[in-house]
Structure 1
Amino acid sequence: MYRFIMSLMLVLPVSVFSALNYLQEDITNDTTWTIQDSPVYIYGNITVKNGATLTIMSGVEVYFMLVEGDGGFREGSELYIADGKLIAEGTQLLPVIFTSGGDIRSDGDWGCIAVEDDSVVNLNHCVIEYAKAGLIFWNLSSMSEMASSVNYCRIYHSSEVGILFYNSSPTINFNSIKNNRYGIQTQGLSSPTVNYNDICSNYSYNFRNLSGLNQDATSNWWGTTNINEIEANIYDYYDNHNYGVVDYTPFLESSYFNEGGIGDKSLGWLRSIFVP
């Protein structure tokens, strides 16, 4: 399908691509993508703005095409929510898929889904894969996107980070965040709600706290019940005293998606009392 689309691009005028859902223009009015519109191809940076809401229904596949030097948050095609709203409502059987448009998909093929300031994103049952940064919540003020939420999503194969927060505190629950360079990274005044997720098998750290605030990352599955292994994959106060602690106890004793129980390890409590 990808080769077919690219070959058509060489011979057909741009106006024809609307029928193929090949997007290069910003979204300024309320828009809904249904499975009848799928697949949708994004080339370059597409911004949802002017108060518009983009709603993506279950089963829609969104392909981010390979581009260079686009000047966005990250190099590569991006979906950017600025003064707008993104609602993606997948189901367990028919998730919304955000993925690479490349013939051979690789980590970092496209940029990111970026949410700026008080814009809102609500994602349920989505797959976000092969980006540089799966999701970026970026707020230049001290306010946070408390209304945003990411639930029951799979965020895999990001070359930089699965989810990045800067001065942002959305709710991140019931997700699988794996096979990224960093699973979660917090910066600035971020303090997201991160519970009941699988955060494991990321290449550098599962949770990287570059914020001066302590982070609540309790009741997550870290891929192991071995405290030393869990802590080895968390970057926080104990690696650099300029940053806050990532509180990971109590933690799940197995994958949340396998109905794992919750384990309360006393070492986590002992660890926290030494933080000034």
Structure 2
Amino acid sequence: MLARSRSKKTLLMTGVILSFLIFLPSYALSQFAYTLTVSKSGSGTGTVTSDITGINCDAGNTDCTEDYFPGTVVTLTATASTGSTFTQWSGACSGSGNTCIVTMDAVKDVTARFNLPTNVSGTISANTTWTLANSPYYVTGDVIVWNGVNLTIEAGVIVKFAQFTRLAVNGTLDAVGSSGNPITFTGTSATLGWWNRIDVRSGGSALLDNCIVQYAGYGSINGSIYKTGTGNLTITNSAIGNSGSYGIYLDNTTATGTLGSNTIQNNASHGIYLINAGNGFTINGSNTISNNGGYGIYMV
């Protein structure tokens, strides 16, 4: 009887508390919640929405804050306006993917950055960094890195190439992303062979880590990434796909380098094509090479 009495008393108290919460005015209810505030930055525009009712932070910033009960999990989605690109989250979110998940265990502030494109073309004659803050970069004509000059690309940067254009490296290219913030080299159109290639010339060197290279390889004998002559080419933890020709093309080269832990797939011809390539390259077994129009690795 005592146990049953306690059970009834517990149920009664729970009901009283729930009734109390239900009939509290909104200003009082907010005392039991945490506030999520969304703001936007950058040169572009866009909208941030939540998967549950509350956030619809549009161009007019009309609904950018909401109170949520502790423990509520909110998924935010960033959608860029036409002509703009979403580039990154900051604050309680991070990364460059267009969604982020926030657990409301405290007051949270999230910033979504939308940018207009930065147009680039011509020669790079001094050390240069392409920053995430100015991403995306639109290559409107060939970009040529001079001998002795370094081009650094920050994690999360998106580089979009107009049709037939290329990035030619006579100096050094350092493109180091991360698993959550890869660097993306792609076309202004999602079409096989849309743009030319990352063209690492004799004497030039390139390091690509955690990069995505897609829709390059214009023409029947080409590659998304091309290396000839001396220098170094190292590609790791990257995805090379949707080339109109080869994925990686090593042509008459004595360069050194490593190809490791890459995914090379969906290219129109061979995944890796080597012609008169020296012994300086290490192609290890950690690469995944599949679904290409030719051989995975082809040597002549």
Question: Which residue of structure 1 lines up, in the alignment, with residue 239 of structure 2?
Answer: 154
- Select the structure that is richer in strand: 2
Q: 1:185 aligns with which of 267, 273, 279?
A: 273
Is the aligned partner of 1:129 residue 2:214? yes
Question: Which residue of structure 1 lines up, in the alignment, with residue 249 of structure 2?
Answer: 164
Distance 2:154 2:258 in 1: 21
Provide TM-score, normalisation by structure 2: 0.57
Question: Which residue of structure 2 lines up, in the alignment, with residue 264 of structure 1?
Answer: none
The 5 A counterparts of 1:188-203 are 188-191=276-279, 192-195=281-284, 196-203=286-293
Displaced runs of 4+ in structure 1, greater than 6 A?
A: none
Distance 1:199 1:208 in 2: 12
Gaps of 5+ in 1: 6-18, 67-75, 211-276
Q: 2:129 aligns with which of 26, 32, 36?
A: 32
The 5 A counterparts of 1:73-152 are 76-82=164-170, 84-102=171-189, 105-132=190-217, 133-139=223-229, 144-145=230-231, 147-152=232-237
Distance 2:291 2:235 in 1: 20
Question: Which residue of structure 2 lines up, in the alignment, with residue 270 of structure 1?
Answer: none
- Alignment CA distance shift 1:80-1:2 (3 Å): farther
CA RMSD of aligned residues (A): 1.8
Give identity over the alignment, percent.
29
Letter matched to residue 122 of structure 1: L
The range that moved more, 55-64 or 45-54, is 45-54
Q: Report deviation, 1:99.
A: 0.2
Q: Report deviation, 1:182.
A: 1.1
Tell me, what secondary structure is at the counterpart of 1:98? Answer: strand
Tell me, what secondary structure is at the counterpart of 1:41? Answer: strand
Question: Which residue of structure 2 lines up, in the alignment, with residue 209 of structure 1?
Answer: 299
Residues 34-67 of structure 1, C-alpha deviations (whole Å, 9 max, x = no match): 110100000221100041100001100000012x
Size of the aligned set, in residue pairs, is 180
Q: 1:60 aligns with which of 151, 157, 162?
A: 157
Distance 1:2 1:111 in 2: 28
